[in-house]
Amino acid sequence: EVQLVESGGGLVQPGGSLRLSCAASGFTFSSYWMSWVRQAPGKGLEWVANIKQDGSEKYYVDSVKGRFTISRDNAKNSLYLQMNSLRAEDTAVYYCARVVPYSSTFDYWGQGTLVTVSS
């Protein structure tokens, strides 16, 4: 059974940093692109970042470029999101999601972890 379990969320002050983790199991993690998708309170879904199977390609939504870094450790079946210079508008539930090969589809999602940026 495919499982994605996020952790690392919490309350952080504006300008602060946080590192999210996503532990994957039930599939060959190193064979898939992975993503982070977020959802602000009461709002819709927003794609945040993607990383290729071997970590050689990474893409970000414009609003987080230069502040967030996506990474992965295939030996640990883990995905990460390092978030720096956090802003109030980054407050959201962050989901990790698996990308279907050759498709514009996220087929499995974690339960999400809440990040709150507030003083």
Partner 1 sequence: QSVLTQPPSVSAAPGQKVTISCSGSSSNIGNNYVSWYQQLPGTAPKLLIYDNNKRPSGIPDRFSGSKSGTSATLGITGLQTGDEADYYCGTWDSSLFWVFGGGTKLTVL
Q: Which stretches of the chain bind partner 1, using CB under 8 A?
A: 35, 37, 44-47, 50, 59, 61, 95, 100, 103-112
CB of 35 to partner 1, least distance (A): 7
* CA–CA dist 67, 82 (Å, integer): 8
Residue type, 3: Q
Nearest approach in angstroms of CB 28 to partner 1 is 18
Q: Closer to partner 1 at the Cβ: 55 or 59? A: 59
73 versus 107: smaller Cβ distance to partner 1: 107
The residues facing 50 across adjacent strands are: 35, 59
Indicate the residue among 89 and 107 with the shorter CB distance to partner 1: 107
Distance CA 57, CA 78 (A): 16
Q: How far is the CB of 103 from partner 1 (least distance, A)?
A: 6
Question: Two tokens at 81?
Answer: 């999101």
Tally of CA atoms within 13 A in the half-sphere of 51 that contains its CB = 21
For residue 110, the minimal CB distance to partner 1 (Å) is 7
DSSP state of 89: G
